[in-house]
Amino acid sequence: MSAPTRSAAAAPATAAMAGRTDAGRNPVRRLLGMVRAHVGRLMLAASASVIAELAAIGLMGTAAWLIARASEQPPLAALSLAIVAVRGFALARGLFRYGERLASHDAALRALATMRARVYEALVPLAPSGVSAYRSSDLLSRMVADVEAVQDFVVRVLIPALTAAVVGTVAVVFGVVVLPGAGAVLALGMLVAGIVVPALAAAANRRAARQLAPARAELAARNVDVLHGSADLAVFGASAEALAAADDAGRELARIERRATAATAGAGALAMLVQGGTAVGVTAVALGAAASGQLAPVMVPVLALVTLVSFEPIVSLVPAVRHFEESRAAAARVLSVLDAPPPVAEPRAPLPAPARDATIDVRGLSVRYTAGRAPALDGVDVRLTPGNRIAVVGVSGSGKSTLLAALMRFVEPDAGSILVDGHPAGEYSSDDVRALVTGVTQDAHLFHTSIRENLWLADPGATDERLRDTLASVRLLEWVDGLPRGLDTVVGESGAQLSGGQRQRLVLARALLADPAVLVLDEPTEGLDETTADDVLADVLTQTRGRSVLLITHRLAGLAEFDEVIVLDAGRIAQRGRHDSLVRVPGPYRDLWWARSPDHPADHEH
């Protein structure tokens, strides 16, 4: 697109990204933002947790009072209320504990769904070029394991922290009301166990938490390399080296987890030591008060047991700190992907979708991926009119795929323009441009589902008859009919159950089923033998006669059917013209033709 248009379109996106990046500096704030929409369920879970803990305190305190009072042999009527209270507290504890588990996991799963939706929404404008810097296994780890940290953040951090704060306050108030001295000791112990010890645990866990998610991603990457690349590794004799690398990654992860576990265990032991010391201190103060007549003797065991039980939610803050640090580190990894600037800017007010018979003009197009390095495309001109067929050829790295990426709005041009019906492509929604120009790309994906459902991605309403006709056009129907389950055959992860040629033809069938205005074919016959490749390409060209076709290929067979052949070399157009003209003149196209068809003389008519 032209420079002014690009700047205007990029301005709002840049401002939006600046805001996202600022927020991304505090991943915890972003996590809280994910949870805010479900604050009602979160508060319900926290309330149930608080009531369950208070019921536990009430149960132990009432039971202690009941036993101590019973030792004085009072009338049974004097104990009846306490007996009923013990039963009530016991029932309430179990009931509200179940309610807390139900509400907290409901809130956590809803927050998890919210974050997953935002992750996928943010990934759409980044793919494919915006995520190319990440290894697929690492990206998967971020999108699955790290995203699930939201669940731990809700269930194991937020709710325990809220519960500890409320229950600790209530326990201290109870202690102060019953015996101010005991309340002061209890408050001091809770401050140490609830603030100082978790702070020490956080400091010990912070480094390990930052290393844990990357270590898990590295182990996943090594395992994926061994699993998916086993055949190649065996051919090159590198299996032992790959397995050793996976073992090293596993040992490193285990070392980090041991260090984190040791820090948590040490902090937990310290918190329990503070708990025991506080209980002893409260008991000593209570015994002294009972001896001086300031406190009824039956309240001594009540204060002692209430102190012990009220520390339970406080002690749980130690593992909560570890989960907090891990959640924060995981959130930062996810947000670093989400805050990456999209490779293309969306217009603030996009034009209506272009018509199917739109003309696409590429004028002086230049694309540079890295500043200071040679451009991947430099001053390329292409004109695609309705029904026009253009082939783009050249050696690897000549800029063929970059041209396709620019046409499909996956990369932003540095100079020149791409006009769709006279308007810069950047003034249309990227989805509208891709609906106009799409087809077989190098990164086309097959999902772990049936042949039918993979084809339905292009046209969900297609009948079995149309699916079969499309498969026949790529010479795949006979093979599908020979399968026990036919169209319901599962192709495996990324088409792992198919051969390379079968996978490529299925992708090609899906592209034909989508019926775009400009059918893009990026190495559509890769993985096929030469005879089958020639036949499939001829069938596709026959079926798409009258439709615009843009073929990206390194094979020169069948190019006589194209209106124009463009030869790219180092990002520039080295030659262009019809096949029969290009093979007669010296140049890179004739060199490629002779190299791939040595038995054809240069002046042979095709």
| CATH code: domain of residue 242 | 1.20.1560.10
Q: Is the pLDDT of residue 9 over 50?
A: no
Q: Is the pLDDT of residue 26 over 80?
A: no
CB 589 within 8 A of CB 582: yes
Average pLDDT over residues 401-421: 87
Q: Is residue 353 part of a domain?
A: no
Q: Is residue 436 part of a domain?
A: yes
Per residue in 530-545, pLDDT (tens digit) is: 787 777 788 788 877 7
The pTM (predicted TM-score) of the whole model is 0.67
- The answer for residues whose C-beta is within 8 angstroms of residue 103's C-beta and 6 or more apart is 41, 44, 45, 48
Q: Are residues 68 and 132 in the same domain?
A: yes
Q: Are residues 219 and 267 in the same domain?
A: yes
Q: Are residues 370 and 294 in the same domain?
A: no
Give the CB-side neighbour count of residue 56, counting CA atoms within 13 A: 17
pLDDT at residue 134 in the model: 66
* Domain tally, the chain: 2
Q: Are residues 319 and 414 in the same domain?
A: no
Could you say which of 338, 369, 389 is where a domain stops? 338
Per residue in 452-506, pLDDT (tens digit) is: 888 898 888 888 888 888 888 888 888 888 888 888 888 887 777 887 778 888 8
| CATH code: domain of residue 485 | 3.40.50.300
What is the CB neighbour count within 10 angstroms for residue 514?
Answer: 15
Q: Are residues 297 and 406 in the same domain?
A: no
Q: Are residues 475 and 328 in the same domain?
A: no
Q: Is residue 108 part of a domain?
A: yes
Domain interval for residue 488: 360-596
| Banded pLDDT at 606 (limits 50, 70, 90) | very low
- The answer for residues whose C-beta is within 8 angstroms of residue 476's C-beta and 6 or more apart is 502, 505, 506, 509
Per residue in 267-292, pLDDT (tens digit) is: 999 999 999 999 999 999 999 999 99
d(CA 110, CA 41): 9
Q: Is residue 89 part of a domain?
A: yes
pLDDT at residue 592 in the model: 79
What is the CB neighbour count within 10 angstroms for residue 128?
Answer: 15
**DSSP label at 561?**
G
Q: Are residues 246 and 321 in the same domain?
A: yes
Q: Is residue 352 part of a domain?
A: no
Q: Are residues 139 and 270 in the same domain?
A: yes
d(CA 474, CA 479): 11
Backbone φ and ψ for 208, nearest 5 degrees, come out as -65, -40
Name residue, tokens 């297609």: 462
pLDDT at residue 301 in the model: 94
Per residue in 414-443, pLDDT (tens digit) is: 888 888 888 888 888 888 888 888 888 777
Q: Is residue 601 part of a domain?
A: no
d(CA 461, CA 136): 32
Q: Are residues 433 and 579 in the same domain?
A: yes
pLDDT at residue 331 in the model: 81
| Banded pLDDT at 174 (limits 50, 70, 90) | very high
Q: Are residues 276 and 141 in the same domain?
A: yes
Per residue in 207-263, pLDDT (tens digit) is: 777 788 788 878 877 887 787 778 778 888 888 888 888 899 889 889 988 888 888
Average pLDDT, the chain: 83
Could you say which of 338, 373, 394 is where a domain stops? 338
- Please tell me the least confidently modeled range out of 92-96, 99-103, 173-177, 230-234: 230-234
Could you say which of 338, 369, 387 is where a domain stops? 338
Q: Is residue 605 part of a domain?
A: no
Q: Is residue 34 part of a domain?
A: yes
Give the CB-side neighbour count of residue 83, counting CA atoms within 13 A: 7
d(CA 431, CA 557): 33
The torsion of the CA quartet 453, 457, 463, 469, rounded to 10 degrees, works out to -90
CB 63 within 8 A of CB 57: no
Residues in the chain: 606
Q: Are residues 299 and 380 in the same domain?
A: no
What is the CB neighbour count within 10 angstroms for residue 465?
Answer: 8
Q: Are residues 398 and 270 in the same domain?
A: no
Per residue in 556-588, pLDDT (tens digit) is: 887 888 889 999 888 888 888 888 888 888 888
